Every structure is written in structure tokens, then in C-alpha cells.
Structure 1
């Protein structure tokens, strides 16, 4: 028990950047330290964008889950604190209308499948979705590593170019260049796949 206490104290003395590197290496203790440093602060910050504390707490928790699950991208983040703030802000700024529309579409699909007696069609639909996901992953695998990271931050994390540049410690022009490379690679792969 004593050694865990010392290990925690040792981790607690590390910088945020060092902790992010340890999270990348799957060190749960490092995630616990980042969580204890920022959870309450980020919840307070989130209240500027959403008045329901339960929603804020859920979104902030999601950020830490995302941090753990996308650990391979942490190596490139040079400024962990702004990164956390930006991701929380973006999660809380997601349009409510979009969420309602998505729920409505999901409900419509559920209703359609509930009334559809054709199990074969469901299997075909599932296979097509899996094929589509594999094609997307195949295309993304052709994007150079740094360009893919920036593309994912822009398209998946919905960060603006300026936010990405601050998080990664690069210029906005560099972000734009990497996005251009990613988009060109995607275009080329789509054209190539259409030929077959």
C-alpha cells in the first residue's frame, strides 16, 4: 500500500505533458491524476456553455473517456490544458437540434426495422455498413500519420484549425497543409477505388 502512495505522489509531481505521455502508454494512474486536476475545473468551465450540471458532468466525463480511448493521438499534443478546455467546449457546443434530429432519425430507423419482417435485408444492411467502415479505415490508413491525426482532430473532434495549431504547437499554415494532404489522399483513394 505504501508503494502505491509513493507512486501516486510521484505521478502527481509530473507535468500535464508528461502525464499525457504516460496515458499514451496506458498508465491509468496518470489518467487519474489528470482527472483529479481538471474534472472540477472543466465542469465549472462547462457551466458557461450549459446550465444543466448533469449534462456538463456527463460531457466532461466523456472527454476523459475519449482521452483514454484515443491515447495513440496524445503524443502530438503539446499543450494538454488548452486541449482539454477546447474538447469540453466543443462537446458542450454540439447543437441541440442536431441531437434531436439524430434521435428522431434513430427512432425512425428503429420503427422501420421493428415493422420490417425481412431478416435477410437486415443482414445485408449490416454487411454493407461493415464493408463501408472497412473501406473508410483502408482509406484513412493511406494518409500520412501526422496528416491523419490533424484530419481526425478536425473532422472527428470538430476542432478548428487555430485550436489544432495551439494544441499541437504548430502554425495554422502547417495544419492547413496537413489537411490538404489528407483530403488529397482521400480523393485519390476514392477515385482509385471507383476504378475497380
Structure 2
């Protein structure tokens, strides 16, 4: 195929092929780009193209295949884009949930701790807020380690039960 033949084919079929591609891609740019790619491939492979019975059928089939390939490519791209968007939203929601629930749990614990007797509240705060050991708490308050242990066991048991009820 020489340059004159190709020019005739291009001029005769470019617009009808664009209209055909426009069925698949309503955006004129996409349709035109696909037809231009088909025409470019034909020009580049003009010396190696097998003989065809109908150039018209060949061109339409080539544009059809180009449209299908573009649709598949877009489908994969959109799938990845949508997956990325969904994953980002999931991460944001996970972080929101963690922050929200940590705050909510902390608030519930604080409310329950306020209900403890003054001595149990003091022991609980010394152990879990100040990170003191049983022996240190016992020495500071002038009570036995066993008393500290008993108060903390009751306090944590009470908290577990209250929180279990709240979050069921």
C-alpha cells in the first residue's frame, strides 16, 4: 500500500469509523483517538498486512477491537481506582471507629470508676494511671498487698461486667 492509497482510505473511512466508535465512546476524543490508532497501525504495518477481501470490513473490525480493548483497559483502571477509593474510605472508617470507640470506652470506664468507693478509686488510679506496683500502693496507703489485690480484682470485675453489658 502506498501513500496515495492510504490517504484515499483515510479520507473515505475516517469519519464513518469515528461515528462507529462514537457508539462505544460518546466522548468524541476517545472515539477519534481509537480510529487514529487503527489508522496508524495500518500505516505502520502496510507492508506486512495480509491481503483482505474487504478493506471496509477490516477497518470496522479493527475499530471494534480497538473499542473493546479500550473498554477493557478502562474497566481495569476504574476497578483499581474504585478499589483504591473504597480502601481509603475503609481505612478512614477504621481509624474513625478506633478513635471513637477508644474515646467512648474511656468515657464509660471513667464513669464507672467514679462510682467506686474512694479507697477503691484511689487504688485503681494508682495502679492503672500511675502504674504503681501492688507493694508500692500498699506501702503508700498503709494497707496489705492482699487488700490492694482484692480491691483491684473487684474493680476490674465490675468494669468488665459493665462494659460487656454496654457493648453487647
One fold, TM greater than 0.5? no
TM-score (structure 1 length as normaliser): 0.36
TM-score (structure 2 length as normaliser): 0.42
Larger Rg: 2
Structure possessing the higher relative contact order (Cα contacts under 8 Å, 6 or more residues apart) = 1
